[in-house]
A = this chain, B = another copy of it.
Amino acid sequence: MKYKKSVGQNAKERILDVSEKLFAEGSFASVSVRTVTSAAQVNLSAVNYYFGSKKGLFQSVYVRRATLMNHERLGLLQEAVGKAQQEGRAVSVRELINAMLTPPIFWLYEKEKGLSGYIRFLARAYLEAASDMENVLSQEVDVFDKFVPYFQEVNPSLTVEDIYWRIHFIMGVMHHTINHLDRIGLLSHTACRVETREQTRDRMVAFCCEGF
C-alpha cells in the first residue's frame, strides 16, 4: 500500500523544518527555494513536488503546527475556566492573558523541537501580503474571539470595541517580543538580559494586565 523510500519520510519534514527556520529569519521573497533545498539537502524540485509551489510550502509550514498552537491556548483557557467555576468566581484578566501569551512565549524558548522557529515564522507571516496569508490571520483571530466573552464577564463596563483594542495591543506586545527578543539586550545597552521563559512571560502578562 505504502510506497516510500527510506529517506523519503524525512525529506518532506526536513524541508518543512528548514524553511520554517529560514522564513522565521527573512521575508517570503528573501528566502529562495534554492536556499531551502540546499539547506535541507534535497533536490531543487522537491519543493514543487511535495508542496506544489513556494507559496504552498509557506502555507504548509503554517498549517503543520497551527492547530497544536491554538489547541494549547484554548487548553489553558479551559483550565482557567474550570478552576474559576470550581471556586465560584469569574475568570481573572490575569488568567486570560496568561492563556493567550504562555504558549507562544514558551514555544519561543523551545529551541530543540523547532517550535521557536514556528513562533517567529508566525509573527512574520502576519506581515506578508494579506492576499497570501489571509487564512493565517483569520485562524488566529478565531482563537482570540473565544476570549472576548470572558473579558466581558470579568469587566462588564468594557465595550466589545474596548476589548478588541486591548487584544490588539496585547498582540503587539507579543509579536514585538517574538520578533526582537534577541535584540532587547542591544536596545537596553545590555541592561536587559534575556531571562527564563517564565520571567519573560510574567513581564508581558504584568504589563498587559495593567493595560487592560
Binding site for B on A (CB under 8 A): 25-30, 124, 126-127, 129-130, 137-138, 141, 144-145, 160-161, 164-169, 171-177, 179-180, 183-184, 186-189, 191-193, 203-204, 206-208, 210-212
Contact = CB atoms under 8 A, between A and B. Distances in A.
A198 B113 CA distance: 44
B192 A164 contact: yes
A179 B169 CA distance: 12
A22 to B, nearest CB: 12
6 contacts: A27-B29, A164-B192, A169-B176, A169-B207, A175-B175, A210-B210
Contacts of A165: 184, 188, 192, 203, 207
Most buried by B among A27, A160, A184: A27
Contacts of A189: 145
A210 B193 CA distance: 24
Contact of A172 (B164, B167, B173, B183): B173
Contacts of A174: 172
A203 B50 CA distance: 46
Contacts of A212: 207, 210
Nearest to A189: B145
A161 B188 contact: yes
A206 B161 CA distance: 15
Nearest to A30: B29
A169 B189 CA distance: 16
Given A207-B211, A208-B211, A168 B176 contact: yes
Contacts of A183: 130, 137
Contacts of A25: 129
Query: Which 6 A-B pairs rank lowest in CB-CB distance, beginning with the nearest?
Result: A172-B176, A27-B27, A164-B188, A29-B30, A207-B211, A29-B29
Contacts of A187: 137, 141, 144, 164, 167-168
A191 B207 contact: no
A87 B180 CA distance: 38
